[in-house]
Amino acid sequence: MKRICVFCGSSMGQSPVYREAAASLGRLLAEKGIGLVYGGANVGLMKELADATLAAGGKVIGVMPHQLISKEIAHPDIHQLHAVTSMAERKDLMVSLSDAFIALPGGYGTLDELSEILTFNQLRISDKPLGLLNIEGYFDLLLRFFDRGVEDGFVRKEHRQNLIVTHNNEEMLTLLNNWKPVETTKWIADIRQESQI
């Protein structure tokens, strides 16, 4: 993996554990020679992540819509900032620039981004792995929602298993490297069969 895109909050969160998680991930990416792709902001966990990556000698690429740059929250010290016209274009460019994705704790934006990658993987629009760093159990309720989706037949078990979950940075990188996408033809054929029942 040459570059990993990290989704995370533009807020710090209440616990210092979240800040340290973002910083430690940034340091690890730099140590491993893996470039960081992120939202380009100079606030919240996004800033902690970028600052730690830069301080450890890593390369950082940001992607941000013009309307957010104009509010002066773009990070001034990253290696490259791609200015785009919309949030949709931001996500598309992040996908094209990255080999894998990690979600740290965050809010609606983080949820939107990780949901899009999950859907892309399900539909095989993208074959790039996605992991959740479940710091302090932050994503536990979301994972229960996904499990309920499997139980009630809205999410296929193999697609639920597409999502890598751990709280450990080193383990996350290993699991991302070893990830294999679900074979498309089988689940599409299964859906067609189910719809005829």
Give residue limits of the domains in the chain. Answer: 3-195
Terminal C-alpha separation, the chain: 43
Q: What is the pTM of this model?
A: 0.91
Q: Is the dihedral of CA 183, 171, 56, 84 positive or negative?
A: positive
SS3 58: coil
Question: What pLDDT does 106 receive?
Answer: 97
Class of CATH domain 3-195: alpha beta
SS3 30: helix
User: What single DSSP character describes residue 41?
Assistant: B
Question: What pLDDT does 125 receive?
Answer: 86
Q: Over the chain (197 residues), what is each successive 10-residue block's mean pLDDT?
A: 96 95 98 97 96 98 91 90 95 96 97 94 88 97 96 91 94 94 64 58
